Amino acid sequence: MARLKRLLIAGLIFMPISGFAERGAFDVDRWYGMMDSVRTRAASENISDDMINATLRSPAFIPSIVRSDKNQSEFKLTLDAYLNRAVNQNRISTGRKMCNKYPTMLSNVEKKYGVPPHVILAFWGMESNFGAVKSRHKLTDAFLTLMYDGRRETFFGNQLISLMKTADKNNLDINNIYGSWAGAMGHFQFIPTTLAQYGVDGNGDNKVDIINNIGDAMHSAGNYLNKLGWDSGQRIVRRVILPADFDISLLDGKTKFTLPQWSAIGVTNPDGTPIPQVDMTAGLVADIAEIERIRTDAINNSAGPDTDIAPMPVITAYLTYPNFYRIKKWNNSNWYAIAIANLADELH
């Protein structure tokens, strides 16, 4: 055991651990105990000895990953700023090129899973900028580091075991699988448990490789969206405008009315025409913080108590249909779902 500890220390010696001084020295006993637990669990779940040995051959602790986990920015862009960044002309242009480059593959995904090309392309563009964003963290190191840190040890332990099973099943070199610091990988940034549940072989080689094989990646994304219930006959959102005095408590995306009911309380198309009067239920989402800022500015800019408050502009919002909420099961962000909808519209 002492020799194994020395080997582990040797594997860690090049990794700076000064960032953990406030919590004391790096706990080699904990690190080794964790490796032992991974080995025991992996063996109990029928992962091959070769895969277990490959995973634990030269583990590295990466302090920067822990810092990333602990210092996730609380800064939030306005909706307009987020959309300007996410749905930019370069991404739209690249998406159109990819549509022309992979027409057969995209058509096959649509036929099999019912998810149209422009939707697949929108997710691909948002998740990895069509494969241009290259991940730099070896996933085994990322998961082991986050397990050691302990904040979500069970979650990341499950991710590591799932990754080992996938690599074992598909004869992949686990030490050559890279992803984000949090464990997302490939063209559509699946975490291992999502890959295990929804990953499919898209090119018939009896492997699932969503990192190096675009066909596998696209088919897996299509399968995931299909299992989430994607309805190709429905749009995702509809951009609308609201009266300036609209009750913003209704803009949470959770309050749902029929389209005629929304129309009755002032929701219109951007050009002022009525929204469709079909009996369909939708939510309503807007940048509430920005609306409140505009309203506050209007009050503060008034000259005094006897001066009328400057007129406030109409409110831009989005009616959110069932596909919007399916996107949120992929990524639970209103801004992300609206960006997917806008990018998909541009690529349609």
pLDDT at 42 over 70: yes
Classify residue 88: in a domain, yes or no: no
Classify residue 136: in a domain, yes or no: no
Amino acid identity, position 305: P
Q: Output the DSSP codes for 139-155.
A: HHHHHHHHHHH-TTHHH
Classify residue 245: in a domain, yes or no: yes
pLDDT tens track for 307-324: 565 566 788 999 999 999
- Residue entry with tokens 């749009």: 235
Classify residue 290: in a domain, yes or no: yes
Count up the domains in the chain and report the number: 1
For the chain, the C-alpha Rg in angstroms (whole number) is 25
Classify residue 250: in a domain, yes or no: yes
pLDDT tens track for 227-260: 999 999 999 999 999 998 899 999 999 999 999 9
* Average pLDDT rounded to a whole number, residues 60-79: 82
pLDDT tens track for 149-201: 988 899 999 999 999 999 999 999 999 999 999 999 999 999 999 999 999 99
pLDDT at 24 over 60: no
Q: How far apart are CA 243 and CA 336, in angstroms?
A: 25
Confidence band for 295, pLDDT divided at 50, 70 and 90: confident
Structural domain boundaries, residue 263: 237-320
pLDDT tens track for 111-157: 999 999 999 999 999 999 999 987 889 999 999 999 999 888 999 99
Classify residue 269: in a domain, yes or no: yes
Classify residue 303: in a domain, yes or no: yes
Amino acid identity, position 130: F
The chain-wide mean pLDDT, for the chain, equals 89
Q: How far apart are CA 74 and CA 66, in angstroms?
A: 16
Please state, in angstroms and as integers, the Cα–Cα distance from residue 217 to each residue in 25, 127, 209, 210, 292, following that order.
42, 12, 7, 4, 41
Q: How far apart are CA 60 and CA 11, in angstroms?
A: 6
* Average pLDDT rounded to a whole number, residues 97-108: 98
pLDDT for res 16 = 40
Q: How far apart are CA 299 and CA 311, in angstroms?
A: 10
pLDDT at 23 over 60: no
Q: 175: which DSSP letter?
A: G
pLDDT for res 69 = 84
Classify residue 295: in a domain, yes or no: yes
